[in-house]
């Protein structure tokens, strides 16, 4: 009698695997909604504690993204030149565009801008010492790294495909174009950005870049450069309407 070889049993799925199998949208949506929920909670504590609230928001949503990282779709290539050029152009367009929009009589100002009494100057609460620079590292660094990850995974990898096939979004190839998904996703950015006019235009540009390069990583880098340039501009110029 010869011994029969023992077939290796595949490892049983983990609790997280079973969660994702049951709710395939979870890896795409939970990091983003963690960010939004923590932002809402943090806003209840007022500007005196905003630096703590922002750190919790950034590291909390990053932790959730890391938990689900292996379930993200392929991120693709960076494409440095278009990512950098478009990232900087969107930052410049955000500033110039919003100042133009806000000068128009038809633009709904209360929705678009914080009033000056609500502007947040971190030096007012943290002085000019180490606390300020630690906050700037978290605030600007988080906006340039964590925010692009959670937003691009949600909007470009999830929502654009969900709008094409609600019941089976995972079967939709990344960066597949339809007019409906392109237009609705662009308009939906107004729900996230109080400066809704430039928010919609920004999302149009990001969507077009995604269709062109078909790379989530390229979008993350472009988005990160936009945020990095915008927030450096805000702090240096003290144009706090973009950072209230």
Residues 6+ apart with CB under 8 A from 43: 53
Tens digits of residue pLDDT in 171-224: 999 999 999 999 999 999 878 887 888 999 999 999 999 999 999 999 999 999
Does residue 179 or residue 43 have the better pLDDT? 179
pLDDT tens-digit series, residues 72-122:
999 999 999 999 999 999 999 999 998 888 787 766 655 556 667 778 899
- Pairwise CA distance, residues 208 & 60, whole Å: 30
- Which bin fits 108, alpha (ψ -120 to 50), beta or left (φ > 0)? beta
The answer to whether the beta carbons of residues 49 and 126 sit under 8 Å apart is: no
For the chain, domain boundaries: 75-242
**How would DSSP label each residue in 115-143?**
-GGG---THHHHTTSHHHHHHHHHHHHHH
- Confidence (pTM): 0.91
d(CA 156, CA 227): 17
Residue 162 has pLDDT above 80, yes or no: yes
The pLDDT of residue 193 is 83
Span 62-72, average pLDDT: 98
C-alpha span between 148 and 225 (Å, rounded): 9
pLDDT, mean over the chain: 91
């Amino acid at each position: 009698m010869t011994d029969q070889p023992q077939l290796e049993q595949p490892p049983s799925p983990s609790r997280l695997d079973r969660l994702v199998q049951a709710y395939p949208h979870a890896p795409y949506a939970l990091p983003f909604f963690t960010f939004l929920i923590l932002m809402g909670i943090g806003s209840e504590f007022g500007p005196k504690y905003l630096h703590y609230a922002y750190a919790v928001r950034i590291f909390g949503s990053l932790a959730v993204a890391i938990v689900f990282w292996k379930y993200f779709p392929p991120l693709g290539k960076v494409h440095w030149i278009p990512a950098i050029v478009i990232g900087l152009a969107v930052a410049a367009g955000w500033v110039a565009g919003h100042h133009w929009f806000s000068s128009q009589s038809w633009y709904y100002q209360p929705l678009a801008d914080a009033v000056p009494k609500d502007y947040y100057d971190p030096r007012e609460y943290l002085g000019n010492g180490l606390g300020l620079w630690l906050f700037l590292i978290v605030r600007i660094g988080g906006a340039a790294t964590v925010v692009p990850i959670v937003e691009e995974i949600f909007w470009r990898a999830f929502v654009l495909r969900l709008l094409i096939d609600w019941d089976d979004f995972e079967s939709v190839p990344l960066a597949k174009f339809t007019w409906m998904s392109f237009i609705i996703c662009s308009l939906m950015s107004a729900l996230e950005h109080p400066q809704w006019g430039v928010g919609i235009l920004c999302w149009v540009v990001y969507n077009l870049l995604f269709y062109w390069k078909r790379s989530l990583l390229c979008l993350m880098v472009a988005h990160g450069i936009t945020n990095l340039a915008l927030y450096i501009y805000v702090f240096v110029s003290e144009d706090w309407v973009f950072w209230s």
